[in-house]
Amino acid sequence: MSDTQFNRPIRVLVAKVGLDGHDRGARIIATTLRDAGMEVIYTGLRQTPEMVVNTALQEDVDAIGISILSGAHMTVFPKVMALIKQKGMSDVLLTGGGIIPADDMAELKKIGVGELFPPGTSTADIVKYITNWVHANRNF
């Protein structure tokens, strides 16, 4: 099996959490992942962490990507990570992107959050990261 070939498509949930109403980037990422052969579930705007994790569990996703521009990343990511652990979903990648200072990215990685991508990141890099992580950490 090659690095990009699996028994089924990679399943990714793309979410906007909280009152952040700007979803252009999330929609671009969702389309890019779909075009790369992934199955994408886009939750839309104004989701709670609980809604995101419950949907991820119901949809049996391999990864959750959160787009956040509101500045609430130090609240949202830890809450989602805690819910992932509480629901026994430790084999699901939590990644995301948006306006997140480098120091905050480092703190979030310490609690288990995957790579976080700032605006301007190549979409090909995001596809490659998710594909490689899933290949290394999920078994299907």
Q: Where are the domains of the chain?
A: 11-135
Q: Is the dihedral of CA 80, 102, 67, 46 positive or negative?
A: positive
Pair 138, 8: CB distance under 8 Å: no
Strands (E), 1-140: 11-16, 39-42, 63-68, 93-98, 116-117
Buried b (16+ CB within 10 A) or exposed e, 91-130: ebbbbbbbebeeeebebbeeeebbbbbeeeeeeeebbebb
| pLDDT tens digit at each of 140 positions of the chain | 344 567 999 999 999 998 888 899 999 999 999 999 999 999 999 999 999 999 999 999 999 999 999 999 999 999 999 999 999 999 999 999 999 999 999 999 999 999 999 999 999 999 999 999 999 999 87
Residue 20: the pLDDT is: 80
Cα–Cα distance, 23 to 45 (Å, whole number): 7
Cα–Cα distance, 28 to 33 (Å, whole number): 9
According to the CATH classification, is domain 11-135 in 3.40.50.280? yes
Cα–Cα distance, 48 to 17 (Å, whole number): 6
